[in-house]
């Protein structure tokens, strides 16, 4: 997956509001192509978000998540200027990590 995630993190009072748009096909493994062959599954399995090295979100996903998934969450304990890092790993072992700074 060549395209980076779009990550926006901003302070909302005492919480950090994080929005992430991931670029992934999220193929379920249940659809067929025009020749009737099953399209192999290819989807994100784990997502992890950290703030300055501390895990603030950990999730396990399955094939029911839509293509190019959008994830939004909030957490306490961050500050302006801190780094947010988001990593996903899919069922084929491919991974992507991107980061943003809290504004």
CATH 2.60.40.10 fits 6-101, yes or no: yes
Q: Where are the domains of the chain?
A: 6-101
pLDDT tens by residue, 12-66: 999 999 999 999 999 999 999 999 999 999 999 999 999 999 999 999 999 999 9
pLDDT of residue 2: 57
Contact residues for 57 (Cβ-Cβ < 8 A; gap 6+): 18, 47, 48, 49, 73, 75
pLDDT of residue 3: 87
The stretch 77-91 carries a mean pLDDT of 97
pLDDT of residue 94: 96
pLDDT tens by residue, 3-12: 899 999 999 9
Model-wide pTM > 0.95 = no
């Amino acid at each position: 997956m060549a395209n980076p995630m779009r990550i926006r993190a901003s302070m909302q009072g005492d919480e950090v509001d994080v929005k992430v748009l991931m670029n992934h096909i999220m193929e379920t493994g249940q659809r067929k192509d025009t020749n009737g062959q099953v399209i192999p599954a290819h989807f994100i399995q784990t997502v992890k978000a950290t703030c300055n090295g501390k895990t603030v979100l950990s999730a396990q996903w399955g094939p029911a998540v839509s293509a190019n998934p959008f994830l939004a969450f909030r957490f306490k304990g961050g500050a302006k200027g801190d780094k947010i890092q988001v990593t996903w790993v899919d069922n084929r072992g491919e991974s992507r990590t991107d980061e943003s700074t809290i504004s």
